[in-house]
Amino acid sequence: MNAGVSRALVIGGGFSGMTAAIVLQRQGVAVDLVEIDKDWRTYGAGISLNGATFRLFGQLGIIDAYLKAGATCDGVHMRGPQDQLVFEMPTPTLVPGLPGNGGIMRPALARILADKVRAEGVSVRLGVSFTTIDADSGRVAFTDGSADEYDLIVGADGFASSVRKALYPDAPKPRYVGQAVWRAVVPRPAELPTITMWMGPKLKAGVNHVSDTQSYLFLTEDKPVNEHVDPAQFIDRLKALLARFPSPVLTRLAAGLGADSQINYRPLENMMLPRPWTRGKVVLIGDAVHATTPHMAAGALMGMEDGVVLAEELAARPTLTEAFAAFEERRFERCRMVVENSGRLAEIEITGGDHAEHARIMGQTLGALAQPI
Ligand SMILES: Cc1cc2nc3c(=O)[nH]c(=O)nc-3n(C[C@H](O)[C@H](O)[C@H](O)COP(=O)(O)OP(=O)(O)OC[C@H]3O[C@@H](n4cnc5c(N)ncnc54)[C@H](O)[C@@H]3O)c2cc1C
44 has a pLDDT exceeding 90: no
**Using CA positions, which residue lies closest to atom 52 of ligand 1?**
294
Nearest to 162 by CA among 75, 29, 293, 35: 35
Spatial separation of the C-alpha atoms in residues 172 and 272, rounded to whole Å: 8
**Residue 37 alpha carbon to ligand 1 centre in Å:** 13
The sign of the CA dihedral 151, 291, 129, 31 is negative
Q: Which residues contact 183 (CB under 8 A, 6 or more apart)?
A: 45, 46, 216, 217, 218, 219, 262, 263, 264, 266
**Is there a domain that residue 224 lies in?**
no
- Taken as a whole, the chain contains a residue count of 373
What atom in ligand 1 is closest to the CA of residue 161? 38
**Is there a domain that residue 230 lies in?**
no
Question: Any residues with Cβ below 6 Å from ligand 1, and which?
Answer: 11-17, 34-37, 47-48, 129, 156-159, 162, 181, 266, 286-287, 294, 297-301, 303
Whole-number pLDDT of residue 13: 98
Q: What is the per-residue pLDDT across 47-65, written as a single tens digit (0 to 9) for each?
A: 999 999 999 999 999 999 9
Measured N-to-C along each axis, helices 320-350 and 299-316 cross at an angle, to the nearest 10 degrees, of 170
**Using CA positions, which residue lies closest to atom 31 of ligand 1?**
14
Q: Return the beta strands (E) in 111-243 as ranges.
A: 123-126, 130-134, 139-142, 147-149, 152-155, 175-187, 195-199, 204-209, 214-222
**Residue 15 alpha carbon to ligand 1 centre in Å:** 7
Average pLDDT over residues 168-186: 96
- Pocket probe for ligand 1: among 36, 161, 310, the residue whose CB has the most ligand atoms within 8 Å is 36
The DSSP element (H or E) to which 11 belongs, if any, is strand 7-11
Give the number of domains in the chain: 1
What atom in ligand 1 is closest to the CA of residue 47? 8
What atom in ligand 1 is closest to the CA of residue 269? 53
**Is there a domain that residue 184 lies in?**
no
- Chain centroid to CA 324: how far? 22
**Is there a domain that residue 257 lies in?**
no
Between residues 1 and 189, the one the model is more confident about: 189
Q: How does residue 200 score in pLDDT terms, banded at 50, 70 and 90?
A: confident
**Is there a domain that residue 321 lies in?**
yes
For the chain, the average pLDDT equals 96
Whole-number pLDDT of residue 112: 98
**Is there a domain that residue 62 lies in?**
yes
> Is the entire prediction scored with pTM above 0.85?
yes
* Domain of residue 322, residue span: 2-173+269-369
67 has a pLDDT exceeding 90: yes
Whole-number pLDDT of residue 43: 86
What atom in ligand 1 is closest to the CA of residue 163? 41
Whether 16 and 287 have beta carbons less than 8 Å apart is answered as: yes
Whole-number pLDDT of residue 82: 81
SS3 content of the chain, % helix, strand, coil (to 5): 40, 25, 35
Whole-number pLDDT of residue 81: 78
- One-letter amino acid at 224 equals P
What atom in ligand 1 is closest to the CA of residue 287? 26
- Pocket probe for ligand 1: among 9, 10, 16, 305, the residue whose CB has the most ligand atoms within 8 Å is 16
**Is there a domain that residue 181 lies in?**
no
- Chain centroid to CA 52: how far? 13
Q: Compute how many other C-beta atoms are within 10 angstroms of the C-beta atom of residue 152.
A: 26
Whether 281 and 7 have beta carbons less than 8 Å apart is answered as: no
What atom in ligand 1 is closest to the CA of residue 183? 1
**Is there a domain that residue 179 lies in?**
no
Q: What is the per-residue pLDDT across 79-96, written as a single tens digit (0 to 9) for each?
A: 987 888 989 999 989 999
369 has a pLDDT exceeding 90: yes
We report the CATH number of the domain holding residue 10 as 3.50.50.60
**Using CA positions, which residue lies closest to atom 7 of ligand 1?**
297
Q: What is the per-residue pLDDT across 309-357, written as a single tens digit (0 to 9) for each?
A: 999 999 999 999 999 999 999 999 999 999 999 999 999 999 999 989 9
Between residues 355 and 268, the one the model is more confident about: 268
363 has a pLDDT exceeding 90: yes
Relative to beta strand 30-35, strand 7-11 is parallel
Spatial separation of the C-alpha atoms in residues 341 and 338, rounded to whole Å: 5
